[in-house]
Amino acid sequence: MPADHMLVMELLYASHASAQREAPARRGDAPACQVVLRAAKADADDDGMERLTLLALGTAVCASDLTAVLADHKNITTQQLIDELVAARRDKGADDTAMPDLLLAMRADDPGHAAELLGNLIAADHGAFLDLIVELGGYAATCVSLLAVLEISPVEDTLAELEETVQQFFAGKQPARGGTAGQRRFAAQAAPHRGPALLQGGPGTPTSPRT
Protein backbone atom coordinates (compact mmCIF):
# COMPACT_ATOMS: atom_id res chain seq x y z
CA MET A 1 0.00 0.00 0.00
CA PRO A 2 1.31 3.53 -0.74
CA ALA A 3 2.62 5.57 2.16
CA ASP A 4 -0.19 7.17 4.17
CA HIS A 5 0.49 10.70 3.00
CA MET A 6 0.80 9.66 -0.66
CA LEU A 7 -2.81 8.49 -0.73
CA VAL A 8 -3.92 11.91 0.45
CA MET A 9 -1.66 13.77 -1.96
CA GLU A 10 -2.90 11.65 -4.87
CA LEU A 11 -6.43 12.75 -4.01
CA LEU A 12 -5.45 16.42 -3.67
CA TYR A 13 -3.64 16.47 -7.02
CA ALA A 14 -6.53 14.63 -8.68
CA SER A 15 -9.05 17.03 -7.14
CA HIS A 16 -7.06 20.01 -8.36
CA ALA A 17 -6.88 18.48 -11.84
CA SER A 18 -10.63 17.85 -11.81
CA ALA A 19 -11.29 21.50 -11.02
CA GLN A 20 -9.28 22.61 -14.06
CA ARG A 21 -11.27 20.65 -16.63
CA GLU A 22 -14.84 20.06 -17.71
CA ALA A 23 -16.70 17.56 -15.56
CA PRO A 24 -17.03 14.13 -17.22
CA ALA A 25 -20.44 12.81 -18.20
CA ARG A 26 -20.21 10.19 -15.46
CA ARG A 27 -19.21 11.57 -12.05
CA GLY A 28 -17.36 8.38 -11.26
CA ASP A 29 -14.96 9.06 -14.14
CA ALA A 30 -13.63 12.23 -12.50
CA PRO A 31 -9.97 11.84 -11.40
CA ALA A 32 -10.78 12.45 -7.72
CA CYS A 33 -13.61 9.92 -7.75
CA GLN A 34 -11.32 7.38 -9.37
CA VAL A 35 -8.79 7.78 -6.54
CA VAL A 36 -11.48 7.17 -3.92
CA LEU A 37 -13.00 4.25 -5.81
CA ARG A 38 -9.59 2.57 -6.18
CA ALA A 39 -9.00 2.96 -2.45
CA ALA A 40 -12.46 1.54 -1.72
CA LYS A 41 -11.82 -1.47 -3.96
CA ALA A 42 -8.43 -2.12 -2.38
CA ASP A 43 -10.00 -1.91 1.08
CA ALA A 44 -12.77 -4.29 0.02
CA ASP A 45 -10.16 -6.76 -1.26
CA ASP A 46 -8.45 -6.56 2.14
CA ASP A 47 -11.78 -6.67 4.00
CA GLY A 48 -10.88 -3.43 5.76
CA MET A 49 -11.26 0.36 5.76
CA GLU A 50 -7.69 1.55 6.26
CA ARG A 51 -7.16 3.40 2.98
CA LEU A 52 -10.48 5.22 3.09
CA THR A 53 -9.95 6.13 6.73
CA LEU A 54 -6.53 7.58 5.93
CA LEU A 55 -7.95 9.51 2.98
CA ALA A 56 -10.77 10.97 5.06
CA LEU A 57 -8.61 12.02 7.99
CA GLY A 58 -5.60 13.23 6.01
CA THR A 59 -7.70 15.25 3.58
CA ALA A 60 -9.72 16.69 6.46
CA VAL A 61 -6.49 17.87 8.09
CA CYS A 62 -5.50 19.68 4.88
CA ALA A 63 -8.96 21.16 4.35
CA SER A 64 -9.15 22.33 7.95
CA ASP A 65 -5.76 24.04 7.86
CA LEU A 66 -6.55 25.70 4.53
CA THR A 67 -9.81 26.98 5.97
CA ALA A 68 -7.91 28.53 8.87
CA VAL A 69 -5.54 30.31 6.47
CA LEU A 70 -8.41 31.76 4.46
CA ALA A 71 -10.28 32.79 7.60
CA ASP A 72 -7.15 34.53 8.85
CA HIS A 73 -6.84 36.33 5.53
CA LYS A 74 -10.41 37.61 5.94
CA ASN A 75 -9.80 38.51 9.60
CA ILE A 76 -12.62 36.25 10.75
CA THR A 77 -12.72 33.05 12.78
CA THR A 78 -12.70 29.59 11.25
CA GLN A 79 -16.21 29.09 12.62
CA GLN A 80 -17.41 32.24 10.85
CA LEU A 81 -15.90 31.18 7.54
CA ILE A 82 -17.44 27.72 7.77
CA ASP A 83 -20.80 29.30 8.62
CA GLU A 84 -20.47 31.37 5.44
CA LEU A 85 -19.71 28.25 3.42
CA VAL A 86 -22.71 26.42 4.84
CA ALA A 87 -24.98 29.40 4.12
CA ALA A 88 -23.69 29.61 0.54
CA ARG A 89 -24.36 25.90 -0.01
CA ARG A 90 -27.89 26.23 1.33
CA ASP A 91 -28.53 29.25 -0.89
CA LYS A 92 -27.67 27.03 -3.86
CA GLY A 93 -30.05 24.35 -2.64
CA ALA A 94 -27.30 21.88 -1.73
CA ASP A 95 -27.86 19.41 1.07
CA ASP A 96 -25.91 19.70 4.31
CA THR A 97 -23.02 17.27 4.74
CA ALA A 98 -20.72 16.23 7.57
CA MET A 99 -17.83 18.28 6.18
CA PRO A 100 -18.32 21.51 8.21
CA ASP A 101 -18.53 19.65 11.53
CA LEU A 102 -15.53 17.51 10.60
CA LEU A 103 -13.44 20.57 9.69
CA LEU A 104 -14.27 22.20 13.02
CA ALA A 105 -13.46 19.02 14.94
CA MET A 106 -10.07 18.75 13.24
CA ARG A 107 -9.37 22.43 13.83
CA ALA A 108 -10.30 22.12 17.51
CA ASP A 109 -7.94 19.15 17.94
CA ASP A 110 -10.96 17.05 18.92
CA PRO A 111 -10.12 13.55 17.64
CA GLY A 112 -12.95 11.98 19.62
CA HIS A 113 -15.58 14.08 17.86
CA ALA A 114 -13.96 13.51 14.46
CA ALA A 115 -13.94 9.77 15.18
CA GLU A 116 -17.59 9.84 16.13
CA LEU A 117 -18.58 11.77 13.00
CA LEU A 118 -16.74 9.44 10.65
CA GLY A 119 -17.71 6.28 12.50
CA ASN A 120 -21.38 7.21 12.45
CA LEU A 121 -21.24 8.09 8.75
CA ILE A 122 -19.60 4.80 7.81
CA ALA A 123 -22.14 2.84 9.83
CA ALA A 124 -25.10 4.75 8.40
CA ASP A 125 -24.19 5.25 4.74
CA HIS A 126 -20.97 3.98 3.16
CA GLY A 127 -21.76 5.81 -0.07
CA ALA A 128 -22.11 9.10 1.79
CA PHE A 129 -18.72 8.44 3.38
CA LEU A 130 -17.15 8.08 -0.07
CA ASP A 131 -18.90 11.27 -1.19
CA LEU A 132 -17.52 13.07 1.87
CA ILE A 133 -13.95 12.14 0.93
CA VAL A 134 -14.47 13.44 -2.61
CA GLU A 135 -16.07 16.60 -1.19
CA LEU A 136 -13.12 17.18 1.15
CA GLY A 137 -10.69 16.79 -1.74
CA GLY A 138 -12.65 19.16 -3.94
CA TYR A 139 -12.96 21.75 -1.20
CA ALA A 140 -9.24 21.55 -0.40
CA ALA A 141 -8.40 21.95 -4.10
CA THR A 142 -10.63 25.03 -4.29
CA CYS A 143 -8.83 26.50 -1.28
CA VAL A 144 -5.45 25.80 -2.88
CA SER A 145 -6.52 27.64 -6.04
CA LEU A 146 -7.95 30.52 -4.02
CA LEU A 147 -4.70 30.96 -2.12
CA ALA A 148 -2.95 31.32 -5.47
CA VAL A 149 -5.54 33.81 -6.78
CA LEU A 150 -5.17 35.88 -3.61
CA GLU A 151 -1.38 35.75 -4.06
CA ILE A 152 -0.98 34.17 -0.64
CA SER A 153 0.80 31.07 -1.92
CA PRO A 154 1.41 29.50 -5.37
CA VAL A 155 -0.33 26.19 -6.00
CA GLU A 156 2.81 24.06 -5.99
CA ASP A 157 4.10 25.69 -2.80
CA THR A 158 0.80 25.08 -1.03
CA LEU A 159 0.67 21.45 -2.14
CA ALA A 160 4.24 20.95 -0.92
CA GLU A 161 3.30 22.43 2.46
CA LEU A 162 0.23 20.19 2.61
CA GLU A 163 2.35 17.13 1.93
CA GLU A 164 4.56 18.06 4.87
CA THR A 165 1.48 18.64 7.03
CA VAL A 166 0.04 15.22 6.20
CA GLN A 167 3.37 13.51 6.82
CA GLN A 168 3.61 15.17 10.23
CA PHE A 169 0.01 14.26 11.00
CA PHE A 170 0.43 10.56 10.31
CA ALA A 171 3.85 10.46 11.96
CA GLY A 172 2.21 11.80 15.12
CA LYS A 173 -0.40 9.04 15.40
CA GLN A 174 -0.79 7.91 18.99
CA PRO A 175 -2.34 4.79 20.55
CA ALA A 176 -5.98 5.47 21.35
CA ARG A 177 -7.71 4.73 24.63
CA GLY A 178 -11.38 4.06 25.18
CA GLY A 179 -14.33 4.25 22.79
CA THR A 180 -15.58 1.72 20.28
CA ALA A 181 -13.17 -0.16 18.04
CA GLY A 182 -13.98 2.13 15.11
CA GLN A 183 -13.70 5.26 17.21
CA ARG A 184 -10.39 4.11 18.69
CA ARG A 185 -8.99 3.71 15.17
CA PHE A 186 -10.15 7.16 14.10
CA ALA A 187 -9.00 8.80 17.34
CA ALA A 188 -5.52 7.34 16.96
CA GLN A 189 -5.23 8.82 13.47
CA ALA A 190 -6.87 12.14 14.33
CA ALA A 191 -4.38 13.01 17.08
CA PRO A 192 -3.69 16.76 17.59
CA HIS A 193 -1.36 18.16 14.96
CA ARG A 194 0.51 21.33 14.19
CA GLY A 195 1.15 22.08 10.53
CA PRO A 196 3.99 24.02 8.93
CA ALA A 197 4.18 27.80 9.23
CA LEU A 198 2.20 28.50 6.05
CA LEU A 199 -0.80 26.52 7.24
CA GLN A 200 -0.60 27.97 10.72
CA GLY A 201 -0.41 31.52 9.36
CA GLY A 202 2.74 32.02 11.42
CA PRO A 203 4.46 35.39 11.55
CA GLY A 204 7.61 35.83 9.56
CA THR A 205 6.66 33.24 6.95
CA PRO A 206 7.10 34.63 3.39
CA THR A 207 3.82 33.12 2.23
CA SER A 208 1.87 33.77 5.43
CA PRO A 209 -1.53 35.45 4.93
CA ARG A 210 -0.41 38.31 7.13
CA THR A 211 2.59 39.25 4.98
pLDDT for 131-163, tens place per residue? Answer: 999 999 999 999 999 999 999 999 999 999 999
Question: Can you tell me the distance from the alpha carbon of 85 to that of 27, in angstroms, rounded to the nearest whole number?
Answer: 23
User: Amino acid letter at 173?
Assistant: K
Helices (H), 47-154: 50-73, 78-91, 99-107, 111-124, 126-149
Q: Is the model's pLDDT at 174 over the cut of 50?
A: no
Nearest one of 108, 17, 124 to 68, comparing CA atoms = 108
pLDDT at 2: 55
Are 112 and 183 in contact by the 8 Å Cβ rule? The answer is: yes
| Helix (H), strand (E) at residue 158 | helix 155-171
**Tens digit of each residue's pLDDT (9 = 90 or more) over 51-110:** 898 899 899 999 999 999 999 999 999 999 999 989 988 888 877 888 998 898 888 877
Are 186 and 118 in contact by the 8 Å Cβ rule? The answer is: yes
pLDDT at 145: 94
**Exposed (0-12), middle (13-18) or buried (19+): which is 71, by Cβ within 10 Å?**
buried
**Tens digit of each residue's pLDDT (9 = 90 or more) over 8-58:** 999 999 999 876 666 655 666 788 999 999 999 999 999 888 889 889 989
**Tens digit of each residue's pLDDT (9 = 90 or more) over 107-134:** 887 767 887 888 888 888 889 999 999 9
200 falls in which pLDDT band (50, 70, 90)?
very low
189 falls in which pLDDT band (50, 70, 90)?
very low
Domain residue ranges of the chain, discontinuous segments joined by +: 4-200
pTM of the model: 0.76
pLDDT at 115: 78
Q: Is the model's pLDDT at 185 over the cut of 90?
A: no
